[in-house]
Structure 1
Amino acid sequence: MTAGFMALLDVSIVNVAIPALQGEFGASSADISWVAAGFALTFGVALVPAGRLGDERGRRRMLLIGLAAFTATSALCGLAPTPGWLVVARLLQGAACGLMNPQVIGMIQQLFPGDSRARALGLYGGVVAVSTAVGPVVGGLLLQWADWRGVFFVNVPIGVAALVVGKNLLPRDPTDRPRRSLDLVGAALLGTAVFTVMYMLIEADHWWLLTVAAALTTAFLAWERRYEGQPLVDLQLLGDRGYATGIVLALLYYAGYTGIFLVITLFLQQGLHYTPLQSGLSMTPIAIGSAITATYSGRLVFRLGRTLILTGVLTTAAGIALAALLIGDHTELLPAALLVTGLGSGLVFSPNQALALRGVPPQDGSTAGAVLQTCQRIGTAIGTALAGSLLFGELARTDDFRPAAALGLWGSALTLALAALAGGFTRRGRHLRREEES
Structure 2
Amino acid sequence: MDNGHIVLKSAQGRWILGATVLGSGLALLDSTVVNVALPFLGKDLHAGMAGLQWTINAYTLTLAGLILLGGSLGDRYGRRKIFLIGTVWFALASAMCGLSPNIEFLVAARALQGIGGALLTPGSLAIIQASFAKADRPRAVGAWSGLGGVSAAIGPLLGGWMVQTAGWRWAFLINLPFAAIVVLVTLRHVPETRDEQAAGKFDVLGSVLAALALAGVTYGLTEKGAAVPLVAGLALGALFVVVEIRRSPDALVPVGLFRNHVFAAVNVVTLIMYAAMGVVFFLLVVQLQVVSGFSPTQAGLSMLPTTILMLLLSARAGEIAKRIGPRLPMTGGILVAGVGFIWMSTIGPSANYLLQVLPAVTIFGLGLSFAVAPLTATVLATADERYAGTASGVNNAVARTGSLLAVAAIPPLVGLVGNAFQDPAQFNAGFHSAMVISAAMMGVASLITFFTIRTNVLDPQNVNA
Provide the TM-score with structure 2 as the length reference.
0.84
Q: In structure 2, what is the Cα distance between the partners aligned to 1:401 and 1:33?
A: 14
The 1:387/1:290 distance shift into structure 2, 3 A limit, reads: farther
Q: Which residue of 1 aligns with 2:440?
A: 414
- CA gap of 1:393–1:85, structure 2 versus 1, over 3 A, is closer
- Aligned equivalents of 2:102, 2:453: Cα separation in 1: 52
Structure 1's 171 and 411: CA in aligned 2 closer, same or farther, altered over 3 A?
same
**For residues 349 and 323 of structure 1, do their structure 2 counterparts lie closer, same or farther at Cα, with a shift above 3 Å needed?**
same
Aligned: 1:240 with 2:260: yes
Q: What is aligned with 2:339?
A: 318
Q: 1:359 aligns with which of 369, 382, 391?
A: 382
Match of 1:66 among 80, 83, 86: 86
For 2:335, the aligned partner's letter is: L
Q: Which moved more, 1:129-138 or 1:305-314?
A: 129-138
AA aligned to 1:278 is: Q
- AA at the equivalent of 1:409: M
Segments of 5+ residues of structure 1 without an aligned counterpart are 431-438
Separation in 2, partners of 1:90, 1:322: 32
Equivalents in 2 of 1:195, 1:388: separation in Å?
17
The alignment partner of 1:224 has SS state of helix
Does structure 1 residue 388 correspond to structure 2 residue 411?
yes
Moved more, 78-87 or 45-54: 78-87
What is the identity, as a one-letter code, of the residue corresponding to 1:425? Answer: F
Q: TM-score, normalised by structure 1?
A: 0.89
1:252-276 per-position Cα deviation (integer Å, ceiling 9, x unaligned): 1112223223332232111122211
Instruction: Name the CA shift for 1:178/1:156 in 2 (closer, same or farther; >3 Å).
Output: same
Contact 2:63–2:115 at 8 Å: present in 1 too? yes
Shift of 1:153: 1.4
* Partner of residue 462, structure 2: none
Q: Secondary structure of 1:346's match? A: helix
Q: In the alignment, what sits opposite 1:162?
A: 182
Deviation sequence 1:35-61 (CA, Å, 0-9, x none)? 232111111111111111111111111
Q: Answer whether contact 1:260 1:387 (CA < 8 A) is retained.
A: no
Alignment partners' CA distance in 2, 1:402 and 1:84 = 27
The residue number in structure 1 matching 2:75 is: 55
Which has the larger helix fraction?
Answer: 1
Q: Check whether the contact 1:289–1:340 (CA below 8 A) recurs between aligned residues.
A: no
Matched residues, percent identical?
Answer: 30
1:274 — aligned with what? 294
* CA apart distance, 1:359: 2.4
Q: Tell me the CA shift for residue 282 of structure 1.
A: 1.4
Any idea what the Cα deviations from partners look like across 1:318-368, whole Å, max 9, x if unmatched? 222233246589633120221011000111112111112202122211111
The match for 1:331 is 352
Q: 1:324 to 1:29 in 2, by over 3 A?
A: closer
Does the aligned pair in 2 maintain the 1:46–1:95 contact within 8 Å? yes
Q: Distance in 2 between matches of 1:365 and 1:233?
A: 12
Q: Cα distance 1:166–1:231, how it changes in 2: closer, same or farther (>3 A)?
A: same
Any gaps of 5 or more consecutive residues in structure 2?
1-20, 457-465
Query: Residue 117 of structure 1 corresponds to which residue in structure 2?
Result: 137
Does the Cα contact within 8 Å between 2:314 and 2:370 map onto a contact in 1?
Answer: yes
Pairwise CA RMSD: 2.9
In 2, are the aligned partners of 1:57 and 1:179 still within 8 Å (CA)?
Answer: no
Letter in 2 for 1:53: L
Are the aligned partners of 2:415 and 2:426 in contact in 1 as well (CA < 8 Å)?
Answer: no
For residues 195-344 of structure 1, the aligned pairs below 5 Å read: 195-203=215-223, 206-207=226-227, 209-227=229-247, 230-305=250-325, 306-325=327-346, 327=348, 331-332=352-353, 333-334=355-356, 335-344=358-367
